[in-house]
Chain A
């Protein structure tokens, strides 16, 4: 069956450290993968998009990798701050036969502590 798994429901790290979030999928062949941030009661906010032919993408303190062989994406936040505390969602797109809908994982709740 098709599945998207994001590591542990919650991740607590200390301010200044690097947070690493994982997204693993099975029985999908996405053309691209997107990461979103979601705060409680709010809509997902786009962070980064990485395509199947790209290995890595960066934006300021954010970095995402995409390994289509392992069927995994890693999302890194360097020099983390308490303001980075939120739920982070990965979403697969461009799945064969799936048009342009996004299929979301359940999210990882990140808490950055002082």
Chain B
């Protein structure tokens, strides 16, 4: 069964460093998302991406964050200058269709630890 994959599973970085989290969405999906979950808290939406552009972003997704689909299979989240409060699980998700129509499938997550 097709699934969303994410690498790395765990990333440790120093405050102020740049990190890139990588995702391979399900191959025929067109909509891509990033969510995060701080330990013990709920899953929060960061950004959605369709047709090579951001379709929606949350207040969390400030200028330090960016997303890219560099080729036909990868979808990345970059944090330019990490802060301690960026420590969280980051989940990539994808769906086949858009609003009101289809399910989002989540990857296993990348645990980001900022020291």
Determine whether A49 belongs to the interface, using a CB cutoff of 8 Å to chain B: yes
Per the 8 Å Cβ criterion, residues 55-114 of A in contact with B are 89, 91, 93-94, 98-107
Determine whether B48 belongs to the interface, using a CB cutoff of 8 Å to chain A: yes
**Hey, which chain B residues are within 8 Å of A28, CB to CB?**
none
Q: Contact flags (1/0) for A34-71 with B, using CB distance below 8 Å?
A: 10100001111110010100000000000000000000
- Report how many A-B pairs have Cβ atoms within 8 Å: 66
Determine whether B100 belongs to the interface, using a CB cutoff of 8 Å to chain A: yes
A15 to chain B, nearest CB (A): 27
CB–CB A43/B103 < 8 A: no
Please tell me the number of chain A residues within 8 Å of chain B, measured between CB atoms. 26
A106 to chain B, nearest CB (A): 5
**Hey, which chain B residues are within 8 Å of A49, CB to CB?**
103
Determine whether B25 belongs to the interface, using a CB cutoff of 8 Å to chain A: no
Please tell me the number of chain B residues within 8 Å of chain A, measured between CB atoms. 27
Determine whether B28 belongs to the interface, using a CB cutoff of 8 Å to chain A: no
CB–CB A99/B43 < 8 A: no
**Hey, which chain A residues are within 8 Å of B43, CB to CB?**
44, 89, 91, 102, 104
**Hey, which chain A residues are within 8 Å of B107, CB to CB?**
43
A selection of 13 A-B contacts at a CB cut-off of 8 Å is A31-B99, A31-B100, A32-B100, A43-B107, A43-B108, A44-B43, A44-B106, A46-B104, A94-B99, A98-B56, A100-B56, A101-B56, A102-B43
